[in-house]
Amino acid sequence: MKLAETGEALREILKGAPRPCVLVPTMGAFHAGHVSLMERAREMAGPHGSVVVSIFVNPIQFDRAADLDAYPRPLTRDLATCRAAGVDVVFAPDAASMYFPDRSVTVTETMLSRGLCGATRPGHFDGVCTVVLKLFLLSGCDAAVFGEKDFQQLAVIRRMVRDLDVPVEIMAAPTVREADGLAMSSRNTRLTPEQRADAPRIRQALSAAAELKNPAEALAFARRAIEASPLARIDYLTLVDAVTLQPISEILRPAILATAVFYGDVRLIDHAAVTP
């Protein structure tokens, strides 16, 4: 496994590398969910292709400085995880090598990113789109793998690729969960034991509410179930079309029941599919 710490080094390593090249963009602090993305990338690349994992805590997608500062960065452990997963190249730059001090170009998506996480995290998806496009260009990848847990991010990236004619195939990997149903996230390690014990109620509430075909009833049920805990504070809870991500009042097509919930200063996201 090779390590690149600058874009120039990455391009040099990948010059003439076996194709296809499949990228897994991450911010590190790996758990089993990340490993599943690497495994999916290896399936796509085949035994002779190249799997590239980027590890970069992207500062321009954080709307809260405290969240950025608190984000875990166990690089040594993450590199060992990549090596065990059969990754060929790890790209682990610092912010100074990714962004010029006077950078003045940002990639902005204006429809799918307005609601959900985008409504309460100004500039977040501008930062996501900008860094992901840079990673695509630096790696020259043929395909990239993203987790379905961040379903709004996945939708926004797909729209960016479509609208800008980016020649990268976007593949989705299913959400990986803990035994009690909590979606795996690097943020889970920041929960107190009491918060961690309570957090599975998010999945339980969404799963039960998704069975209710009346949107108002589903939203009301999920809200009651989550707010029954004094530890949980809802950031948003909404029902949206699975393709357009626009709020809906009637379930005529596949939909998504989505929420973001704070436990202290730790923000957890999850969603459940709702079928007509």
Task: Tell me the average pLDDT across 99-111.
Answer: 97
Q: How far is CA 117 from CA 61, 187, 245, 261, in A?
A: 12, 16, 11, 11
Asked if the peptide bond before residue 276 counts as cis, ω within 30 degrees of 0, the response is no
Domain spans, the chain: 2-173, 186-274
Continuous segment of H or E residues that includes residue 21: strand 21-26
Task: Tell me the average pLDDT across 118-140.
Answer: 96
Q: Cβ contacts of residue 199 below 8 Å, gap of 6+?
A: 182, 188, 191, 232, 261, 263, 268
Q: What percent of the chain has a predicted confidence (pLDDT) above 90?
A: 92
Task: Tell me the average pLDDT across 94-118.
Answer: 96
Q: Are 169 and 144 in contact (CB under 8 A)?
A: yes
Beta strand pairing status for 89-91 and 50-55?
Answer: parallel
Q: What is the CATH number of domain 2-173?
A: 3.40.50.620
> Has residue 101 got a pLDDT over 90?
yes
CATH superfamily assigned to domain 186-274: Pantoate-beta-alanine ligase, C-terminal domain (3.30.1300.10)
What is the spatial distance between Cα 59 and Cα 96, in angstroms, rounded to a whole number?
A: 11
> Has residue 85 got a pLDDT over 90?
yes
Predicted confidence band at 192 (pLDDT cuts at 50, 70, 90)?
A: very high
pTM of whole model > 0.75?
A: yes
Predicted confidence band at 66 (pLDDT cuts at 50, 70, 90)?
A: confident
- Mind telling me the catalytic residues? 34
First to last CA, the chain: 46
The whole-number pLDDT of residue 124 equals 95
Q: Is 239 exposed, middle or buried (0-12, 13-18, 19+ CB in 10 A)?
A: buried
